[in-house]
Structure 1
Amino acid sequence: MHIVAVLALDKVIPFDLATPIEVFGRVGGERYEVRVCAPAETVDAGTFTLRARWGLDALLDADTIILPGCADVAMVVPEEVLDHVRKAAAGGTRIASICAGTFIFAATGLLDGLRATTHWLAAAELAARYPGITVDPDVLYVDNGQFLTSAGAAAGLDLCLHLIRRDHGSAVAADAARLSVMPLEREGGQAQFIVPAQPPTPRGSALEPLLRWMQENTDVEVTLGDLAARGGMSVRSLNRRFREQTGTTPLQWLLRARIRRAQHLLEATDQPVESIAGQVGFGSPTAFRDRFKRIVGTSPQSYRTAFRQR
């Protein structure tokens, strides 16, 4: 019997807490025993109060510890909680976090020198607070062997299914995925859910007319020389002004505008991908698909399937 201990703290995110309880608890064959552990008998989860049957000492008996996210990433985690997680890790216990649970994990110091992820909205904060961690905001989960981290709440499902597959193989994991009405593997990572920032247009600058033209003509294939000529300046001056005023190069700025336009067309129209490729200035559908996948993290067709407006 594999013991999965789910840590419950005040302000815990209910979905993050329920996910491992549901996924591991419904695996047949008495393969898992799920225990909810907390530093106190009652936990204030905001929308409800939880009574935990197990204390922190139960973490030391677990084979796997799950750290769900809490609503406040700046919350101070009790030192006794961190100590118990560290002791469990020293004994070889597998530890995984869901969403903002990575902040609890990071506070233990166990992730220092490792790659990790969290919800993309909190990724920059995680990287700033814990510079010893290599934060990857684009993936659904990161498996370092003993230590694993996942992105948002739904990615917690992906991580739990991944752990079941590691423990018992793909057939058992596939059954668990069907019970959760989830694919065993989802294509792409977090990047497809991140809305790209609108390319900045400095108001009143000499670049404003050129930037407006670039946004309105994403279908036109242009070179750096073409843009410089349209802006009435040398290529060198164009590059310098772009870096000063937008923080990027002219062609990178234009690429962001094109991808943003492509996402809108994929979401709001039924136009073929080949047609959209031409409308956003790519010479071939193959080049468009390749660049789109590198930036967004999934193919144009998969993006449309996930985000098409009904």
Structure 2
Amino acid sequence: MSVIAILVADGVPSQELTIPPAVFTTAARAYRQVVYEIRIASATGSRTVTTGEPPLDFAVPWGIEALDGAGTVLVTGHGAHRDPPSPEVAEALRASAARGCRMAAIGTGVFTLAATGLLDGRRALTSWPHQKDFVRLFPRVRVESTGDPTVVDGPFHTSAGVLGGLDLSVDLVERDHGWRVAAGTARQIMLPLYDKVVADREELEREIGDRTSIEATTRWLEENVHRPLTLADMADHAKVSVSSLNRRFRQRTGLSPLQYLLRARLHEAQLLLENTELPIERIAARTGFGSPANLRHHFQRRTGTSPRAYRAAHRRLTRVSALREETRDENGETRDES
């Protein structure tokens, strides 16, 4: 049995608390050769509060002793990540690394791991909004900015982004049990997320398709999402007043012109994320959002995930689909990998 200790503290992002256990338990449920013991641990007390709406107050079943005997220690992000860990936590992390334990960190959890000195001279990854703070606090750690969701340097695994814990956890499953198990696990975990985004895009395409008397203007908007268009620009193109433009758009699409333009920009961004290698900065410029921060804000609100995480999930799902095809036998049946 492989023991995975997940170290949390107050202010842990909800997805970092829930996604890694979901990956490991899904793998164990789907494949009989996979056996994981998950220990949720905290050195700060028996209760921990997550971020999110609403915040979740939950009981933590393990203390710092959970790290003893663990094969993997995974440190999540938390609210006070800039503060050095307690001597108890630092000592436990160093002891785990010294006995050859696999060490991992999600998001701002890398601050805690780096504060022990274990990452000095190594490559690591953290969430983009915190990179400047991380570089200032830990100049001996080489921060990666390649766009990859995970970075591995020896026994140290770090990840970033809203779904960084997903990629890191699936990668750990692959290292433990091979790509077939990891692929099947990833498909079960990610299909609900991906289906949600695809359904959202299909809804947009239906909205775009219903453009009876404003077809020329909607087509023009879709071809010019990169421009900083205003209501006056749209009304001028349609050769109507702003009030008439608003009325026609709401009648035909259920959206205001600016809402329609935002949906069209998001639609274009999704296509670029799926089908190109363009960096987020270029995609933001090509879709009229101007800055990566603006693109991330609207993309997160609409889809529930970040552009980088969506691209990573799409790539992972594409890989899973390809691998599933490779496992089909001559009769078109999928072989049992369990």
Matched with 1:45 is: 50
Matched with 1:262 is: none
In the alignment, the residues of structure 2 paired with residue 293 and residue 126 of structure 1 have an alpha-carbon distance, to the nearest angstrom, of: 22
Instruction: Spell out, residue by residue over 1:140-164, the C-alpha distance to the aligned partner (whole angstroms, 9 max, x if none).
Output: 1101131110011312101110110
Q: TM-score, normalised by structure 2?
A: 0.55
Instruction: Name which of 170, 190, 209 aligns with 2:179.
Output: 170
TM-superposed deviation, 1:269: 5.7
In the alignment, the residues of structure 2 paired with residue 72 and residue 152 of structure 1 have an alpha-carbon distance, to the nearest angstrom, of: 18
Please tell me whether residue 181 in structure 1 is matched to residue 190 in structure 2: yes
In the alignment, the residues of structure 2 paired with residue 6 and residue 142 of structure 1 have an alpha-carbon distance, to the nearest angstrom, of: 18
Checking the alignment, whether the CA contact within 8 Å between 1:98 and 1:153 is kept in structure 2 is: no
Matched with 1:19 is: 19
Please tell me whether residue 155 in structure 1 is matched to residue 160 in structure 2: no
Checking the alignment, whether the CA contact within 8 Å between 2:123 and 2:144 is kept in structure 1 is: yes
Please tell me whether residue 54 in structure 1 is matched to residue 62 in structure 2: yes
Instruction: Name which of 74, 95, 119 aligns with 2:82.
Output: 74
Matched with 2:71 is: 63
1:45 partner amino acid: T
Q: Secondary structure at the match of 2:27?
A: coil
Checking the alignment, whether the CA contact within 8 Å between 2:49 and 2:56 is kept in structure 1 is: yes
Report 1:1-310 matches (<5 A).
1-28=1-28, 29=32, 30-39=34-43, 40-45=45-50, 47-137=55-145, 138-181=147-190, 292=278
Checking the alignment, whether the CA contact within 8 Å between 2:8 and 2:78 is kept in structure 1 is: no
24-33 vs 81-90, which deviates more? 24-33
Q: Secondary structure at the match of 1:106?
A: helix
TM-superposed deviation, 1:293: 5.8
In the alignment, the residues of structure 1 paired with residue 149 and residue 165 of structure 2 have an alpha-carbon distance, to the nearest angstrom, of: 8
Q: Secondary structure at the match of 1:109?
A: coil
In the alignment, the residues of structure 1 paired with residue 162 and residue 67 of structure 2 have an alpha-carbon distance, to the nearest angstrom, of: 22
Checking the alignment, whether the CA contact within 8 Å between 1:20 and 1:66 is kept in structure 2 is: no
Label 1:269 to 1:91 Cα distance change in 2 as closer, same or farther (>3 A). closer
TM-superposed deviation, 1:82: 1.1
* Identical amino acids, percent of aligned pairs: 32
TM-superposed deviation, 1:43: 2.1
1:35 partner amino acid: R
Which runs of no fewer than 5 residues in structure 1 stay unpaired?
A: 184-215, 217-264, 274-288
TM-superposed deviation, 1:166: 0.6
Q: Secondary structure at the match of 2:65?
A: helix
Instruction: Spell out, residue by residue over 1:31-61, the C-alpha distance to the aligned partner (whole angstroms, 9 max, x if none).
Output: 2111111112222335222222222122021
In the alignment, the residues of structure 2 paired with residue 168 and residue 133 of structure 1 have an alpha-carbon distance, to the nearest angstrom, of: 30
In the alignment, the residues of structure 2 paired with residue 293 and residue 14 of structure 1 have an alpha-carbon distance, to the nearest angstrom, of: 27
| Larger RCO (alpha carbons 8 Å, 6+ apart) | 2
RMSD of aligned Cα (Å): 3.4
Q: TM-score, normalised by structure 1?
A: 0.60
Label 1:162 to 1:125 Cα distance change in 2 as closer, same or farther (>3 A). same
Q: Secondary structure at the match of 2:176?
A: helix
Matched with 1:201 is: none
Q: Secondary structure at the match of 1:158?
A: helix
Q: Secondary structure at the match of 2:89?
A: helix
Checking the alignment, whether the CA contact within 8 Å between 1:67 and 1:98 is kept in structure 2 is: yes
2:82 partner amino acid: A
In the alignment, the residues of structure 2 paired with residue 116 and residue 172 of structure 1 have an alpha-carbon distance, to the nearest angstrom, of: 26
In the alignment, the residues of structure 2 paired with residue 20 and residue 178 of structure 1 have an alpha-carbon distance, to the nearest angstrom, of: 15
In the alignment, the residues of structure 2 paired with residue 133 and residue 123 of structure 1 have an alpha-carbon distance, to the nearest angstrom, of: 11
Label 1:152 to 1:268 Cα distance change in 2 as closer, same or farther (>3 A). closer
1:160 partner amino acid: S
